[in-house]
Amino acid sequence: MGRVLRKLHAHDLPTRLARSERLYRSMLVQRQKLIAKFKPSTGDIALFPPQDVPPWPPYTAWDFFPPSYNCPHEVDRLGTLGSGGQWVCGASRLTTKPDCTIYSFGSTSETSFEAAILQNTHSCQVFAYDANGASFGTQIAELAPGRAHFSPFALAKKDAHGTGAVPKRYTLESLMALNGHEYIDVLRLDLEGAEFEVLTALVKPYVGNTRKALPFGQLLIQIHLWETAFPQVLAFFETLEAAGLRPFWCEYNLLYQRQNKGTSDLAEYSFLNTRGSNVFIQNE
């Protein structure tokens, strides 16, 4: 009887999550082997080594950070194909969630992701911020009056929103307090390179503390490797991992690569928060 029960529950949510964690930790071992293969010091590793440097082919920076954690639900692209859409794990779990909350930063020029959230859920509230814009497009307002909220603020590692602050800057904690929120289901970030300092500061209090979960269920982020070095990128990913975030999807920005003479230093990553009791990792 015990064997039968174990077989019946072999694919339940906790089992799938545990299996994904084991696979991910195996990848972390492979990462260290890849680092050791090319250079004894991480400071000597180039993000994108020249093509004529042996052995060939060598690697790109992205090879060290594969999205090898398996989402335990469906993976769906919300928004347009090409630039703008986002890959989400278990979006169906938000369809009827009564207190569904989405935060999106850097979203005035392309809002197909936010529009898809509003179209495919019954009560999700979308809070969007972009210091370079004035409002949502009319499409968003017409889709869900009362469920779409926009403010021309910037996300920062420290608050700066007093008199004369242009643009006004808020930490995520401050914005959540301003809105009366304790939890965000999906957090989307496009910070044009500022993600390294902003997100590192945000997750630092949660690093290594398995009893304290980040206040969001998923992180969808565009990572820009502009003016960075491998140690900074490695530390960034290791900080996110130490806070319980696991990448389950990645999409390299090939449009940017084509327009910029072959550079490949932009990628969209989707992370699942594997700590706490968010809607994506708990049984319904």
pLDDT in tens, 219-270: 999 999 998 999 999 999 999 999 999 999 999 876 666 666 666 889 999 9
Q: Which helix (H) or strand (E) holds 36?
A: helix 13-38
Strands laid side by side in the 216-224 sheet:
148-151, 125-129, 101-105, 184-189, 216-224, 266-273, 245-252
Are 233 and 203 within 8 A, CB to CB? no
Element (H, E) at 219: strand 216-224
Instruction: Give the pLDDT of residue 1.
Output: 46
CA atoms within 13 A of residue 111's CA, in its CB half-sphere? 26
Please write the tens of the pLDDT for every residue from 45-102: 888 887 776 666 678 899 999 999 999 999 999 998 877 889 999 999 999 999 999 9
User: Using 50, 70 and 90 to split pLDDT, how confident is the model at 8?
Assistant: very low
Q: Spell out the domains of the chain, with CATH numbers in brackets.
A: 67-273 (3.40.50)
The Cα 160–Cα 163 span in angstroms is 9
Distances (CA, A) of 159 to 4, 49, 64, 170, 229: 56, 38, 33, 5, 27
Q: 88-97, 128-137, 162-171 — which one is most confidently predicted on average?
A: 88-97
Q: Which residues, including other chains, have CB under 8 Å from residue 16's CB and lie 6 or more apart?
A: 70, 72
Q: Which helix (H) or strand (E) holds 246?
A: strand 245-252
pTM of the predicted structure, to 2 decimals: 0.91
Using CA atoms, how far apart are residues 66 and 33, in angstroms rounded to an integer? 14
Burial of 240 (0-12, 13-18, 19+ CB in 10 A): buried
Token pair, residue 39, equals 């250079």
Query: Which pLDDT score, from 0 to 100, does residue 170 have?
Result: 96
